Amino acid sequence: MKPETREPVNILLVDDQPSKLLAYEAALACLGENLVTVGSARAALEMLLEREIAVVLADVCMPEIDGFDLLAMIRRHPRFRDTAVILVSGIQVGDPDQLKGYDSGAVDYLPVPFAPEVLRAKVRVFVDLFRKTRELQALNRRLEQLVEARTAELRRSNRDLEQFAYAASHDLQEPLRMISSFLQLLSRRYSGRLDAQADEFIAFASGSAQRMHAMINDLLSYARLDLAGAHFTPVACDRALQQALANLRLAIRENGATVTQGSLPTVMGDEFQVAQVFQNLVGNAIKFRRKEADPVVHVDCDLRDGEWLLSVRDNGIGLDPTYAQRIFEVFQRLHGREEYAGTGIGLSLCKKIVERHGGTIWCESSPGSGSTFYFTLPIAPASRTSRLGSEPLPLQAQPSPMP
- Closest to 258 measured CA to CA, from 146, 126, 399: 399
* pLDDT for residue 382: 57
Show the DSSP H helices in 90-230 as ranges. Answer: 96-104, 116-190, 196-227
* pLDDT for residue 17: 92
Percent of the chain with pLDDT over 70: 79
Lowest mean pLDDT among 192-201, 272-281, 303-312: 192-201
Average pLDDT over residues 177-185: 81
* pLDDT for residue 347: 87
Q: For residues 85 and 109, give the distance between their C-alpha atoms in angstroms, rounded to a whole number.
A: 9
Give the model's confidence band at 4: pLDDT under 50 very low, under 70 low, under 90 confident, else very high.
low
Q: For residues 62 and 27, give the distance between their C-alpha atoms in angstroms, rounded to a whole number.
A: 21
132-141, 206-215, 220-229 — most confident range: 132-141
Average pLDDT over residues 268-289: 90
If you average pLDDT over every residue of the chain, what do you get?
A: 81
Average pLDDT over residues 45-67: 90
Average pLDDT over residues 166-172: 67
Q: For residues 297 and 308, give the distance between their C-alpha atoms in angstroms, rounded to a whole number.
A: 19
Q: What is the CA radius of gyration of the chain?
A: 36
Q: Measured at the alpha carbon of residue 365, what is the angle toward residues 363 and 366, in degrees to the nearest 5?
A: 155
* pLDDT for residue 306: 87
- Closest to 108 measured CA to CA, from 153, 136, 67, 52: 67
Do residues 242 and 299 make contact, with C-beta atoms less than 8 angstroms apart? Answer: no
Give the model's confidence band at 313: pLDDT under 50 very low, under 70 low, under 90 confident, else very high.
very high
Tell me the per-residue pLDDT of 23-47, one tens digit each, with 9 for 90 and over.
999 999 999 999 999 999 899 999 9
* pLDDT for residue 1: 46
Q: How far is CA 310 from CA 8, 125, 340, in A?
A: 60, 56, 26
* pLDDT for residue 401: 37
Model confidence at 345: pLDDT above 80: no
Give the model's confidence band at 317: pLDDT under 50 very low, under 70 low, under 90 confident, else very high.
confident
Tell me the per-residue pLDDT of 93-113, one tens digit each, with 9 for 90 and over.
556 666 787 887 888 888 888
* pLDDT for residue 156: 80
The reply to whether omega before 113 is within 30° of 0 (cis) is yes
Lowest mean pLDDT among 7-21, 90-104, 294-308, 347-361: 90-104
Give the model's confidence band at 178: pLDDT under 50 very low, under 70 low, under 90 confident, else very high.
confident
Question: Who has greater pLDDT, 11 or 74?
Answer: 11
Question: Who has greater pLDDT, 214 or 272?
Answer: 272
**pTM of structure:** 0.49
* pLDDT for residue 335: 46
* pLDDT for residue 37: 95
